[in-house]
Chains A and B, each alone.
Chain A
């Protein structure tokens, strides 16, 4: 089984430096691109590989690039690596950033070339201190070796790269909010259309791609679209970084073919539930995805199959809910997070999320009323996609609506028993 993304990552040693990276074939894809491909060929290859965005939305990456205007001469364009990993329960990009920063840089340079951007940014989460150090070092090496800067490898192509570390706020991970953050503004999202491909950073054409997405690019260029598609038996191409966290024996992160089943992840890789804990459900791809439960153990973890099961693949990093954790407390924790991280721009998100959080807290305190469940359901209905300005609130409603579906009796117990049945397992609220 091939693991292109993580093949050179090892927890036991520091990441490859430039020379070692080159020795294992690093920057060959970039050389190939600059020597023998034009930008549209790169885009076409990526499009044909069916690489889908690994940040959660799952849109064809090559297609996204193809919307960037290409005949505008010397127009400023930007490529941005979205390394603002902040989706609760998600820890995959950290591995790529800390484990093999040159792989990301090479992917970025190729992608920037494909859209003919001359400026690129890595928008890195503030908390990733180690990654910042390693990425900065890799950038210095790449500049020194002529992979960045003016006239890269004598190709005539120029690219500057900057590392920007954020100052907190989940919403910065939303690509248009990220643009506002980079512009030194409040990170409220922007409307689409116009898409960033046309009017992005500083009003110029911009591509924002997730770290994992970009790390795939050198491998696709080296090995071709068909190879990439062949990596997975399922409907989505390539490999995926899957993670499992929670009360499992072996929480962790693994690069596996797209479409690996949930059973393989939880029972196989994660070694099943810890002793004394039973599986009750899992959010398959970060905090803003719907619960999957026992009945879903054999579905393939690809974009389509997870959607068919009523959830989203999201970031592919799974959070497991066990039987000794209160589902209401679990969802309250999520809604507290989302309410805090609302940017405050649109009404439903700004005012609706705190309301759900307050109701869930009152349930946890044993102060819930029967009509509260109706109010929660109402919010899941009205905070849907399109009703709010961006996807934050609809995402926030996904775990809540599925919890109300799968764990309804637990919600009702809070109301009927006038207390949280799990209170002894957790700290006080």
Chain B
């Protein structure tokens, strides 16, 4: 499978040593949206969440404290940059590294929250992410072992063999768990109950965009 069929015309490549970034309309769109969101996150304040007070006729305002705000904003911005990197990388191993980094940062963004339900959800998601890092890296390693390259340019030119297909299936399993999409999204939904809207947006955005990019990469490898 070629890049043009999947993502549109190839605008160009950015070779950084052995790391080659490439730009098609698809990659450009995904990268641009992530950068815009990251900038928006970097300059935004958090909302004040209004909740009903138990046993009283009043509301409770839940705010994000200053130190927690700084920590979460930093992690959210790094997550945005890592996700943007995953969108334009031309190297399979870099993609898996970005993917693992996004999984860790997603947990980090909500780990400073002092709500039991949110922490439980983050813990469950963390367990799934850790377990899925094995098939994620294992799949990439099998593809490297069977083809001798991790460059998406070269992988797209090679015909798939059974080991490449096996590696791609393992990678898909790893990506589903690491990004926490269906069927694992149920473990992640409670993470979104916490205040800090600009930070939790990147958790969902990175997961969904990683899936779009993963589809492109897997079709390139298997095509």
The finding on whether chains A and B are genuine partners in a shared complex, rather than unrelated, reads no
